[in-house]
Structure 1
Amino acid sequence: MSHTPSSDRYSNMLYRRCGKSGLKLSALSLGLWHNFGDVDLMQNYRSILHTAFDQGITHFDLANNYGPPPGSAEINFGRILKEDFSGYRDELIISTKAGYHMWDGPYGEWGSKKNLVASINQSLKRMGLDYVDIFYHHRPDPETPLEETMAALDLIVRQGKALYVGISNYKPKEAAEAFKILRDLGTPCLIHQPKYSMFERWVENEGLLDVLERNGVGCIPFSPLAQGLLTDKYLAGVPSDSRVAKGVGFLTENNITEQRLQQIKALNNLALARGQSLAQMALSWLLKDERVTSVLIGASKPAQLMDSLRCLDNYVFSTEELQKIEEILG
């Protein structure tokens, strides 16, 4: 099976330069954390990938342990890349990561050179690629010297297995240290992937965005909808078919307090006044800051992806709207 992408796929997408690099990313990037594993329907995630590329999304974000089972998202993505997107590799930005638990034993996680080099080799084999565009260290390692981890990223670029490197989940101080090491090695950090949303503000409060700006590093927030809280899903409480009710994922009923529900309802009313859904406004709110290169979204079906893309219709906020959001969030 092959796919003929839309001829006008680049017409409506916004592209932003990533930090001070020569690379631009689509304002929305597709994350394959969920919905692309062996437990999912291939025809569905195949359609999601087709839709994403047809709409100008060029960045596809993976990690070695995405699935389930771990590794299956990379295998499935690689198969569709070969079968449906043959000839379009140079139009795509493909990223993967390593750092969380992937295989048994002392070398199957964290940030040693042993782990990172083995991980990139495994990921390339699963996806059938010669290189990825971006390779991330997925989380800080409290025991491995930062110099070793960054040197491994530099080595992977020099071996031609990645074009750029990034980090994820690093706090400002350790991020700044990582940037300096990489810069001194001759492989500047391209991008940082933090958890960031209206409900998760540490990126601003702890000064990470300022550190990224000073160092010319791009930002790509993950979990922009706060595990679904910043959607219309919980406006009337916790649905019986939700991940929360089923006990799946990181979000629990303890996160959905009465105060939080009132904030969600107030934000939803503001979004409607802007002509947006709550989810669209939450994505637009991140994109209002030019230091945010791209926002990482997930999708369980093509229609959901198309709905998210409408955030690009209005990502400008008035002073009054921003003040109202801050009042709501308190």
Structure 2
Amino acid sequence: MKKTFWQALAILLLGVCAFVLSVRVGGAEFVEGNRLPRQVNPIGQKIAQVISNPLQATPAQAQTNDPHGVLNAACAVRPGKPRRPTRKELGPVRVQLGLDRFRRMDASFKDPNVPKEIIALAHPTNFGWRYKFDANGRPANQAPIVVLHETVSSAQSTINFFQTPHPNDADQVSYHVLIDLDGAVIYMVPPDKRAFGAGNSQFNGISVKTNATLSSSVNNFAYHISLVTPRDGRNNKSRHSGYTNAQYDSLAWVLSKTGIPATHITAHKLVDRSGSRSDPRSFDGPKLLNLLKKYPRSADIALSCR
């Protein structure tokens, strides 16, 4: 009888372990190698905007229902004391932004090379101001750079996470742009705002501290672009078939709009100081440099304050 008891207990424990593992594995996605819980926006309301022919946004539209005050086209002077967002700031955002909030548009000129463009605004808790001075009051006037990333998950999973409010600084993450497998350019953070794409990071020894409690980073002067991971490379799997031709072509087009020279285009794995980042994996640098020759450089995507 004693043997039967221990056998039953062992079977019960194995069953519990199997259940816990199935819940943990089934309820997680990965962005940049970090476990992310599946979350939905408050009250089930979505804030993604899919716009095929977006109109220009008026100043009134750009300010509507924005308790954070970060969607206007301006920069802050210097970081203040970090604080937890209010309940109102954690609520859903229904701001309608036009495409001109992400890149300059000239009504008299239509770019024949423009790819499919989508606006999927990140929740304002996942991005912030670019600052003119750092946390110690020193000028923050570094030359802009582009940092290339990889999502390690699907485009939709990444969008869902970025549109979920995150009150804790350590959980906040975003890119300015995602480039999907079909080459669609998905704008998530206005270029004059600071996306939280890299933590402890530096470029050529340069970084800016914008939070006294966190490591300095390149975020204050970086434009973060992330390529959506191929299916065989999701969740940091060892296999990685590389990015599509459409992704490389759209990436070159976006880069040409920033006007940032190739010498200031880098990768997350190169600016990271933690030693934990390897993205973008299987990246073909020479292919990108060759494609960059197709498009004239402009400043239609401007990181500077207005």
Query: Structure 1 length normalisation: TM-score?
Result: 0.28
Which entry has the higher C-alpha Rg, 1 or 2?
A: 2
Higher relative contact order (CA 8 A, sep 6+): 2
Higher helix share: 1
